[in-house]
A and B are shown apart, each in its own frame.
Chain A
Amino acid sequence: MLKLENINAFYKEIQAIWNVSLNVQKGEIVTLVGPNGAGKTTLLRIISGLLKPASGKIDFLGHPLEKETPNKIVEYGISQVPESGKIFTEMSVLENLELGAFVSRARKEKDQSLERVYEIFPRLAERKSQMAGTLSGGERQMLAIGRAIMSGPQLLMLDEPSFGLAPISVERMFKAVEKINQQGVTILWVEQNVQACLELAHRAYLLENGQIVGEGKGKELLSFESVRQAYLG
């Protein structure tokens, strides 16, 4: 479904991504793990169009993405939950969700999408008229994810969704993502909280210093020496 080929990218004149190739098949949960500063967020930004690669190709369902604008990429069916959610704090929960369905194809199905989101995250239904800025950390993350699926994406990308969350919230969030995947949405997940993530994922990539250094079935990656040392020790 999504294929990256030999992506090279710079961030302020320093090369951040070196020859990265990866792919995500339909229906999978693929996770991208790696230490801080490895370039995981950068890679997601490139896929979403917020950063342009210097070279390489990105193909999504037949559409080339390397030169596309971010809003077009959302229209094609990719949605990202950015780092720390980045919800619109001065707007209500409902308004945030409505904005998630901004693209025209999603607007028509706004009401169904809302139902779907409320079903996965009942808390959001309770709080729908509240200002997003008043939500707790866990609730904000739920809102961010809910907002991202409002556009009816085929591929949902999450950037460290468990960051700074209490363990209960993390568990709830993982369950929600699993449910979303079961409903047919492919997932590309960037995480530092490696253990739980690798249990859930079908496949995983290990990114270090902007390069892919490992790939395999979720549980297989746990055997990588570096992974164990760095994250499980």
Chain B
Amino acid sequence: MRKNSIVTPALIIIALIGLIGLPLVIKSDSTINLIILVLLYVITASSWNILGGYTGQTNLGHAAFFGIGSLTTRLLWINGFPFFLSFLAGGVVAVLLALLIGFPAFKLRGVYFAIGTLALAQVLNLTVGNILPEMSYNPDLANYQLLPRYYLFAGLTIVTIGIAYFLSKSRVGLGMMAVREGEDAAESLGISAFKHKLIALAVSAFLVGLAGAAFAYYHVSYYLYMPFGAEWTFDPVMMTYIGGTGTIIGPIIGAVFFVGLKQLLVWNVGEYHLIIFGILFILIVLFLPGGLVEAWQKVKKVLLRWFGRKKPNNHQIDSNKR
């Protein structure tokens, strides 16, 4: 499935310019906060996609890395360490955790890996909640500036998508996809499933750990155990599936869709957007596994046929099916 990114270089440049130049055009703080939320989700979803989408391992412990990244950074930063060191530390600790649990975790296959990682994330969630139940306050509130935080998220988003993209085109990435398609078959080709899974986990953890670190920088006051909550796994997973797993643009679409839907329904009482999202998620898993990306490709095919320009490459497969 190499034809997964429909973004041409021109569009990428436009997007980059837009991302960087945005605060110059938009002055409303609430809009910028909204964009930051989208970026946060893009990062958490794209990072999950590396292990979950490209390597095919359903990791339900994503929140553990997000949480540990945010916890590390917040504790260091609030206690006087320079921000950049604290920020990087968040990512590093997340990777260390990933390496630590990678060895036992990858002994588990498929469904067991999923529930095992879920249990692990819950252990961290509950333990942190027990040890550090208090709210963390930002002592330097007067000097809080939104723009640096925006650029931190924007930069991290670009880095994340960049890493995901180059990984997908690299030999390692190819190995990951082979593992997804069939672990035993991959092994017989000399591809070490364990090595590739571990790399995917480490990269995924690093990126979402940094996202957690940015989160710690961004929020003024929050409960330290909050980033360990299950929603920080569930939401990115759903977004990625809805957008399209194993694609670069899928998580991005999913994130935008998620926040967009939430905003659209914000005048309704209750968490309707999650209900609708959940239903959409189920529909996609059952009937449209490639997500919105696949839906778009199907629409494109229909449109192209209407305009009389047939693409010759896909016909061979069609004629074999009776």
Contacts and interface: CB of A to CB of B under 8 A. Distances in A.
Contacts of B320: 13
Contacts of B322: 8, 10, 54-55
Contacts of A54: 322
Interface residues of B, number: 2
Contacts of A8: 322
Contacts of A13: 320
Nearest to B322: A54
Interface string B296-322: 000000000000000000000000101
B7 to A, nearest CB: 32
A14 to B, nearest CB: 10
A13 B322 CA distance: 10
Contacts of A10: 322
A55 B321 CA distance: 12
Nearest to A10: B322
B265 to A, nearest CB: 42
Interface string A6-20: 001010010000000
A54 B322 CA distance: 7
A13 B320 CA distance: 9
Nearest to A54: B322
Interface in A1-56: 8, 10, 13, 54-55
A37 B320 CA distance: 22
Contacts of A55: 322
Nearest to B317: A13
Interface string A143-187: 000000000000000000000000000000000000000000000
Nearest to B321: A13
Nearest to B320: A13
Interface string A52-64: 0011000000000
B317 to A, nearest CB: 10
Nearest to A55: B322
B113 to A, nearest CB: 26
B162 to A, nearest CB: 37
Interface in B170-215: none
B216 to A, nearest CB: 50
B90 to A, nearest CB: 47
B227 to A, nearest CB: 44
A16 to B, nearest CB: 13
A10 B320 CA distance: 11
A8 B320 CA distance: 13
A31 B322 CA distance: 30
A97 B320 CA distance: 43
Interface in B254-309: none
A55 B322 CA distance: 8
A10 B322 CA distance: 10
Interface in A60-76: none
A136 B320 CA distance: 45
B252 to A, nearest CB: 33
A190 to B, nearest CB: 25
A157 to B, nearest CB: 26
A168 to B, nearest CB: 40
A13 B317 CA distance: 11
A54 B320 CA distance: 12
A8 B322 CA distance: 10
B322 to A, nearest CB: 5
Nearest to A9: B322
A11 B282 CA distance: 28
A55 B320 CA distance: 14
B181 to A, nearest CB: 15
5 contacts: A8-B322, A10-B322, A13-B320, A54-B322, A55-B322
Interface of A: 8, 10, 13, 54-55
Interface of B: 320, 322
5 nearest A-B residue pairs (beta carbon): A54-B322, A55-B322, A8-B322, A13-B320, A10-B322
